[in-house]
Every structure is written in C-alpha cells, then in structure tokens.
Structure 1
Amino acid sequence: MTQIWVLGAVLCLFGSAYADEVCYDGLGCFSDLPPWGGTKERPLAKLPWVPGMIETRFLLFTPKNKYYHEIKADAKIMKVTNYNKLKATRFIIPGYLEAKDEDWAQHMCKDMLKWDSVNCIAMEWKAGVRAPYAQAANNARVVAAQVAHMINFLMGNYKQTADKFHIIGHSLGAHAAGEVGRLVPNLARITGLDPVEPYFQGASRDVRLDTSDAAFVDVIHTDSLPFTKNKLGLGMSGNMGHIDFYPNGGELMPGCSKNSGSPSNLDGIWEGNVNFDGCNHARAYQYYSESTVKAHGFVAYPCPDKESFAAGMCFPCTGASCPLMGQSAIKFNLTSVPTGTKFFLTTGKKEPFGRYSYRAKVLLDGSVWPNPGFMYISLKGDREETESIQLHVGMLSPGFYELLINTDKDVGEIKEMTFQWNNHIFNPIKPTYSASRIELVRGKDNKTYNFCGGDRVGEKVIQSVPPCKT
C-alpha cells in the first residue's frame, strides 16, 4: 500500500487511487480485495502498478515484416503497419525468465511465420515482471487489460471478431491470457505454457486460467512439482484446460534439474536468492515453438498417470485418440476422449525436442548358450535413417526382446531395419546371431511393419532386415 502513496502524484494523471482500488483510463479498475488479495492462496494484497511503470510494448510481426513494428491502439500508427485484418492474430505474453531468454516471444513469432500466415504480436512487460513476486502477479492484470484493450481496438477498427484471436501465455503470462479471455468473451483459443503456481493454484477461477476463458484452452505442464522446500515447481499441477499435456510426466524435463530453496522466499526467485535456472519452466514455450515447425514430433498419448505411460501401457494411439501438443492441438477432436483425460509424451534433452515413437519386438535366433552382450537396431525410412539404438544389454539367448523407441528423426515410411550385436567380453566360441523377425509398431497411428532377417551374423557385423515377403 505504501507504493500507492509514493505514486499518488503520478496516479492523478491516470486515474484515481483508493486504499483498495486503483483505476486507469481505458483499462478499468483494479481491487486488492479477495479474490485478488488477502486470501489463503494470495496472502499479500497488492495493487498493480501504473501502466507506464510496467512498460508494456506490442511488437507486430507479419509475413511482410523483416523486423517488427511497435504498435499501439492508434489508427494512425496501425495504418503504416502490415497488419492484415483478413488473417488470424496471435498474442504471445511472456512471464518471468532470465535476461538471456527475455526475447523468446519474438523468436516464436518468427518461427510461426515460417509456416503460418498470421499477425503475430509479441508482448513485452519486462519492467512489470521484474518486481517482487506478489507485485508482478498483480501487474499481470494490467497487462491483460492492455491486451484486451488492443483486441477491442482491432475488432472495432478492422471489423474483426473475437474468434480470430489466439492468446499464448507463459508463466504469469498464462494467467494474464486467462484474464484477457474474461475481458473479451468468445476468444478462439488460449494456450497456457506452464501456468505459474504460486498465487494461482487453488485460487478462484476469476484469478487463474480456466476453460471458461476461450472456446479452446490447451495447457502444457513442464514444472509441476509441488512448490515446497527443495522442489519449488513453479508450474501448476492438475488439469486446467480443455486439453492438458504432461511431457515427460510434467514435473522434471530431460536436461533440466530441480529448483531448490525455501517456498517462503518467493521474491528470491526473481532476485537470485533461490537456485532457479528456469530450465523446466522454459521448456513449455520451447516445445511449443518447435511444434510450429515440427508438429508430428509431439504426439501425446491419453493415459491415467505418468507411471502407466512410462511403463508403455498407453502405447500406441488407437483411432483419433492422440493429439499433437503445441500449435496443432486445436485440430484434436475433444469428444473422442473422456473429459479430464491427461496426455503424456516424451521429449529429448535438447533441440530438437520432438520425438517419434515406435515399439520394436525382435525375435533373436542364435547360439543357445547365454552370452553377455549388446544388441542394436536402426530404422531406415524413405526420408531419413536413425543411428543405432540399443535394444538390449545383458545375456543374449534366443527369444523375444521388446523396446519402446523414441527417435529425434522423422524417418517417414519404414523401408528396412538393421541389426547388430557385440560381445560384452571376448568369447572364443565366436557365436553368431540373427534378428530373424522384427515387428515394429508406429506410435502415432498403430501402423505395424514386419521385417524378416536371414543368415546369422558375427560380432559387429550389420545385418540388413528387409520387409517380410508376403
């Protein structure tokens, strides 16, 4: 509340300030009363800053722009831009991240425009988000009002309708996107990229992102460990949208480590007093951005929980039950699965993150004497081929071996497979083995390929395994 008195002179230029409410011209009034403050979920009551302190910017990218245009809700400014009223418009609202990643929204717009002809508006509100956490959470309300004001301006000046707008928000920006949906009914879509947990989980639906905010709400969870000591998962857990994705279980992403510190020191996340590198939290927008150019690397499987998914119990897709996480999620028929279904998938440790999944079942033929060693297979398609994938390590003996495969290459239609084996230790008997049969099931559509091998091969010799002759 002290900040309101300090800023009193400035506020007189923009609106009126009260003990529990502040109003800004064109944006409306903001209260610090419940559900916005003074609740179990939001214990500190804070009013949002003056818009000028938040320093919000709208950066327009279009297929005709080499660089962005900074735009405002002003007809004269918009007239000299390449904004196309016939195209859909996407707003990207970032949340908190380290300085090295603060321009990711601009990069996402550029990626989108490689494949999609839209108006893409990257938001900035760096000053407003570099605040104590409770303050930043409330500053996001002003950002939402500014986006809503811009959308209303565009609809009024270009005769567009709300169903032409898609809001993509990360972290605090995800809940800001939800607030935009409350202020502008009938938005086409809101995408929540790891919506932040503190001050939002368990809070009123008026405060957080939920399914009432747009016709289609999709959510990607990447940092949903509990916000407790030495875990500090910043993202919300539990379903929030019409469709919720949990890559790698939704809690800890490959290539990232857990955050650590005390949950009582929320501001330490922003001030560097907590071990927080943002890796898990940032993966949500990294996955989404890649999905705009490699959609089929993010096939997600309906599954009751992460343990069942890890055990391979939800593989492969059947019918139309598997959506694509990211930009193409909206193509999924929600009526094909029960309400509340969770969707899981696997990603890589680094770019490219997308993975293409198969289940291989190999019938090994060879020496009946158990032999310690390794087995490898690879896939050859009409587009690319994979590197050798370890199928098994341990004792080799005739029988079936099965493995779920996740490769970073979209090889296309499988034309051939290869098999190779190595000894673990020198074997003077010099055994030979063959992949006499390989059944390969493609995850995205349950398509089955059958391959038949020939003569046995010695150690480190690559065996070609062609399709079986029908």
Structure 2
Amino acid sequence: MLGLWTVAFFLLGAAQGKEVCYEGLGCFSDSEPWAGTAIRPLKVLPWSPEKIDTRFLLYTNENPNNFQILLPSDPSTIEASNFKTDRKTRIIIHGYIDKGDENWVSDMCKNMFTVEEVNCICVDWKKGSQTTYTQAANNVRVVGAQVAQMLTMLSTKYNYPASQVQLIGHSLGAHAAGEAGSRTPGLARITGLDPVEASFEGTPEEVRLDPSDAELVDVIHTDAAPLVPFMGFGSNQLMGHLDFFPNGGLEMPGCKKNILSQIVDLDGIWTGTRDFVACNHVRSYKYYSESILNPDGFAAYPCTSYKDFQADKCFPCPDQGCPQMGHYADKFAGKNSGEQQKFFLNTGDSSSFARWRYGVSVSLAGRTVTGQIKVALFGDKGNTHQFDIFRGIIKPGSTHSKEFDAEMDVGTIQKVKFLWNNNVVNPSFPKVGATRITVQKGEEKTVYSFCSEQTVREDVLLTLMPCQNTA
C-alpha cells in the first residue's frame, strides 16, 4: 500500500512540477509552458538571485566612463548616484555568454550621451549567462523579475514612471526584457535585438518577448535563419509591433559563416569568437548603436517579403511614412496600429552601416547599342558613387528604373551624372544620352527631374541639370 502511495505521489509531483520562490521576485515553476514541452523539453529551474548575481551599472552624462552600482533592494544607492528623475532611462540587457561591462554595452550608452541626457543602466548577469544554454535561458526569468523589481522601486520610492523607461535586450536579454515588461504595467518601450530562437520561438507569449510587454515593442532580426542546420541564433518569429529585417534578416553583409560555426556546440558560441561565429547575431546591437548617431540613416520600408523589397516593389514610403530602425523607431506615427508590421532595409557591410535609398528612372536617347548605364547623384551635402541602373540593349526612347542604397544623404540634389559603356570596340563610335533622369528619395514624395539634349560616347560623363519648365 505504501508503495502505491509513493507511486501516486511521484506521478502527481511529476504532473505538477517543481517550484522555487525568491523574496520580492515571486515563484518560478518548471511546469508547462516553461518546461516539459517539445520546445523546452528539459525541466530546469532558474538559479537564485544570489547565484546569478545581477548587477545594475549606471552610466550618465556625468559619469560616461565609470559606472555606479544600483541595488533594487537599497534605494539609498539611487540617491547616492547620478540618476536623475527628470530624464528618460534606457536599460540594456546582454545575452548568452556575455556580460554587462562589455565594451559594446557602455559604447551604446556613450552614443546616447552625444544626443540626449539619459540614465543608461547596463544589467550585468554574466554569472547567470555563462553556463549551459538551457540554464541561462531559464535564468532570464529571474533577471527579468529583478529588472521589474528595480522599476517598481523607482516608481514607489521616487515616483518615477515606467512610461519613461526603455528596455534594450540582446539575444537572451530580449526575452529577459519581455519578462520584465510583463511585470511592469505602462512600460514605454522594449527593443529586442535579435531575440534568440532556441527555447523561445513558437512558445506561448508568457515565455517570450511579445507585443503586450510594453506600449511599443520593436525588434531587429539579423540572424533569423533556422538554428538547424544554418546555425542561425536569432528568431524569425514576429515578436513586436514593429519587426525589422535588415538585409532580409538572415545573412548580414560583411558576415561570412565559417565551417567552424557548424561544429561549435551551442554552449561554446560567443566566447572569444563572437564576431567570427556569431557575426550576424551581434550585428543587431551594432546597427542599434549606430542608429543613435544617424537619426535618418536606417529608414525601413513596409513590405511583404525581402524578395519584393529587392525587386523594387516597396518604394517609396507610404503616406504614413517609414519608421527608422533602431533608436528612433518610437518616432514612427504608425507604431501602434494594432497589427504586427514587417519592415525591410539594406545596410552597409561594415561601419558605417547607415544607408539612404533612392529611386532613379532614366529615359534614353541616341543609338541602339548593347551596354550598361550608370548614374551618380550630386547634392549640397555630397555625392554618391556610380550605381548600375541597367544592363542590356540600350534603345532610344526606352526608360529604365532602379533603386539603390547610397552611403550618404546627398541633401538637395543639384545635378546627376550619366555614364554608359559596353567594353566593345566599335569603329562607329556610337553616342548615347539621357533626355531625362528623375530621382526620388525613399522617404519623400517629391520627384526631382534632370534634363539634357546631348549624347556622349562610351565612358564620357554626361551632366544633367534640373529641367527648365517650358510651360
């Protein structure tokens, strides 16, 4: 009889799962959906706050290089610090195998200090992140609860509202931010930087980052290829109000997957080889950090797919405009439309990553020849290099259109230079020209027209000036 009771107790216990409770943070269970599912098969409980040893490192405009430690359990640490209640607070949470005093985190704060006065808090939970992946994935529940605890203390002791707070989480840190947001009513914003896929994609909203976690949730996806077999660490799932897929979200320019990345096990990534193995994954925080200094350099276009974006089907911006990926996404008028929105853009392959998209249409004149045509824009802020517009049979009277991403905003366009060539020796020295070139910047409705009546030989630049109205 005793044996039957033991079996029954064991089965009941297995069904109910285990639970740990931590003072001020609540209880954490290993029952579904947190464990025992196809996505999260292992029953793992989060570590204690003491073992994770989360630290809150405050940088401000007054102390940009040396952090001050804040303790959620000790309000006097706030009073003794440079924390200012009349400023916004941005809290950065690192991911797996990372740490809060890493250069990229403090560098992001420093970029903020160049454009605003702000409390920038780095959440350092390295002891909880530098362990097996499954354990770290569960530890984020406690880290998120601790962030929420800090926000509650700021609210109750200093009347500091959650509406002044943005959480910025990379990788596992994005889901820690989601946990904090789900515990903090009225939180202004969460930015997810390539939220990690494993143990989170496809789970219920309470497990992962989702749009209900803040008034605005914006997400940058840079490593969204499937983990198996492509070693993509980030999630492809829409998790915000605004989900950005730079360069399509799968493979970032300048990142080359290496054979080594196929054999490094999940628990060994990042350490010492972050830019080598996890290059796509870390691009998300590099884009965000640069976006702080480039308020208009990451315009993103609503589009059904990256294939359509590449096929020039998503230009220019619609009437409500385009959001800026990164720091200024909250300026977008349509940010809370109620439905999840996907956006695409291209970036550079190395710093500086910012790009400005232009649409160009070229109407041709002269002889019929085979070749290619190129265009460069010249404005009051600078000029672009030559961009390929068309390759094939160049016919007089035909018009060819193309979009391209320039390394700079040229400002007010003053002239356009046209070039053609075919690299074929032609004794008749044919001439080709452009009667009209129209240019549009992606974020503007205005179309600028440039005209010429000349034709030129191969490899001779033709300058087109603004068209004169003949009306």
Normalising by structure 1, we get a TM-score of 0.89
1:462 aligns with 2:465: no
C-alpha distance after superposition, 1:168-214 (max 9, x if no partner): 11110000000001222211111111111110111121110111111
1:152 aligns with 2:152: yes
Q: How does 1:217-232 map to 2 (within 5 A)?
A: 217-229=217-229, 231-232=230-231
Aligned residue for 1:461, secondary structure, equals: coil
Residues 233 and 259 of structure 1 are in contact (CA less than 8 Å); yes or no, is this contact kept in structure 2? Answer: no
The alpha-carbon deviation at position 262 of structure 1 amounts to 7.0
Aligned residue for 2:179, secondary structure, equals: helix
Mean Cα deviation higher: 314-323 or 98-107? 98-107
The alpha-carbon deviation at position 378 of structure 1 amounts to 0.8
Aligned residue for 1:119?
Answer: 119
The alpha-carbon deviation at position 128 of structure 1 amounts to 1.8
The alpha-carbon deviation at position 48 of structure 1 amounts to 2.0
Aligned residue for 1:297?
Answer: 297
Aligned residue for 2:20?
Answer: 22
C-alpha distance after superposition, 1:382-414 (max 9, x if no partner): 211112222234443422222111101011121
The alpha-carbon deviation at position 297 of structure 1 amounts to 1.4
Aligned residue for 2:176, secondary structure, equals: helix
CA change 1:443–1:326 in 2 (3 A) is: same
Partner amino acid, structure 1, of 2:116:
D
Aligned residue for 1:183?
Answer: 183
Kindly report the root-mean-square deviation, in angstroms, between the aligned alpha carbons of the 2 structures.
2.7
C-alpha distance after superposition, 1:342-364 (max 9, x if no partner): 11111121112121111111112
CA change 1:98–1:170 in 2 (3 A) is: closer
CA–CA distance in structure 2, aligned partners of residues 287 and 19 of structure 1: 41
The alpha-carbon deviation at position 427 of structure 1 amounts to 2.5
Aligned residue for 1:339, secondary structure, equals: coil
1:76 aligns with 2:90: no
Aligned residue for 1:364?
Answer: 364
- Runs of 5+ in structure 1 lacking a partner? 1-17
CA change 1:300–1:136 in 2 (3 A) is: same
CA–CA distance in structure 1, aligned partners of residues 316 and 263 of structure 2: 39
Aligned residue for 1:13?
Answer: none
Partner amino acid, structure 2, of 1:453:
S
Aligned residue for 2:203?
Answer: 203
C-alpha distance after superposition, 1:113-165 (max 9, x if no partner): 11122111122222321211101111212221221222122222321111111
Partner amino acid, structure 2, of 1:450:
S
Report the number of matched residues: 450
Aligned residue for 1:4?
Answer: none
CA change 1:263–1:243 in 2 (3 A) is: farther
Residues 54 and 143 of structure 2 are in contact (CA less than 8 Å); yes or no, is this contact kept in structure 1? Answer: yes
1:318 aligns with 2:302: no
C-alpha distance after superposition, 1:214-252 (max 9, x if no partner): 1111111111112222x1221111321111111122212
CA change 1:173–1:335 in 2 (3 A) is: closer
CA–CA distance in structure 2, aligned partners of residues 145 and 68 of structure 1: 26
CA–CA distance in structure 1, aligned partners of residues 362 and 85 of structure 2: 55
Aligned residue for 1:11?
Answer: none
- Runs of 5+ in structure 2 lacking a partner? 1-15
Aligned residue for 2:216?
Answer: 216
Aligned residue for 1:170?
Answer: 170
Aligned residue for 1:44?
Answer: 42
Aligned residue for 2:136?
Answer: 136
CA–CA distance in structure 2, aligned partners of residues 335 and 136 of structure 1: 32
CA–CA distance in structure 1, aligned partners of residues 283 and 129 of structure 2: 19
Aligned residue for 1:457, secondary structure, equals: coil
Aligned residue for 2:31?
Answer: 33
Aligned residue for 1:380, secondary structure, equals: strand
1:288 aligns with 2:288: yes
Partner amino acid, structure 2, of 1:432:
K
Aligned residue for 1:14?
Answer: none
1:252 aligns with 2:248: no
Aligned residue for 2:445?
Answer: 446
C-alpha distance after superposition, 1:325-357 (max 9, x if no partner): 111111223379672331111112111212111
The alpha-carbon deviation at position 254 of structure 1 amounts to 1.4
Residues 451 and 466 of structure 1 are in contact (CA less than 8 Å); yes or no, is this contact kept in structure 2? Answer: yes
CA–CA distance in structure 2, aligned partners of residues 445 and 265 of structure 1: 47
1:63 aligns with 2:61: yes
Aligned residue for 1:250, secondary structure, equals: coil
The alpha-carbon deviation at position 81 of structure 1 amounts to 2.0
Aligned residue for 1:85?
Answer: 85
Residues 64 and 110 of structure 2 are in contact (CA less than 8 Å); yes or no, is this contact kept in structure 1? Answer: no
Residues 59 and 68 of structure 1 are in contact (CA less than 8 Å); yes or no, is this contact kept in structure 2? Answer: no
Aligned residue for 2:8?
Answer: none
Residues 268 and 274 of structure 1 are in contact (CA less than 8 Å); yes or no, is this contact kept in structure 2? Answer: no
CA change 1:395–1:79 in 2 (3 A) is: same
Partner amino acid, structure 2, of 1:313:
K
Residues 57 and 70 of structure 1 are in contact (CA less than 8 Å); yes or no, is this contact kept in structure 2? Answer: no
Aligned residue for 2:418?
Answer: 419
The alpha-carbon deviation at position 322 of structure 1 amounts to 1.7
CA change 1:99–1:158 in 2 (3 A) is: closer
CA–CA distance in structure 1, aligned partners of residues 29 and 336 of structure 2: 41
C-alpha distance after superposition, 1:266-308 (max 9, x if no partner): 3354679999711111111111111111121111111112222
Residues 360 and 401 of structure 2 are in contact (CA less than 8 Å); yes or no, is this contact kept in structure 1? Answer: yes
CA–CA distance in structure 2, aligned partners of residues 384 and 100 of structure 1: 39
Residues 27 and 142 of structure 1 are in contact (CA less than 8 Å); yes or no, is this contact kept in structure 2? Answer: yes
The alpha-carbon deviation at position 440 of structure 1 amounts to 1.1
Residues 155 and 162 of structure 1 are in contact (CA less than 8 Å); yes or no, is this contact kept in structure 2? Answer: yes
Partner amino acid, structure 1, of 2:247:
N
CA–CA distance in structure 1, aligned partners of residues 99 and 168 of structure 2: 20
CA–CA distance in structure 2, aligned partners of residues 308 and 263 of structure 1: 34
CA–CA distance in structure 2, aligned partners of residues 407 and 97 of structure 1: 36
Residues 169 and 192 of structure 1 are in contact (CA less than 8 Å); yes or no, is this contact kept in structure 2? Answer: yes
Aligned residue for 2:372?
Answer: 374
C-alpha distance after superposition, 1:56-100 (max 9, x if no partner): 222212122242322222333333321110111110101136799
Give the % identical residues: 46
The alpha-carbon deviation at position 421 of structure 1 amounts to 2.4
1:327 aligns with 2:323: no
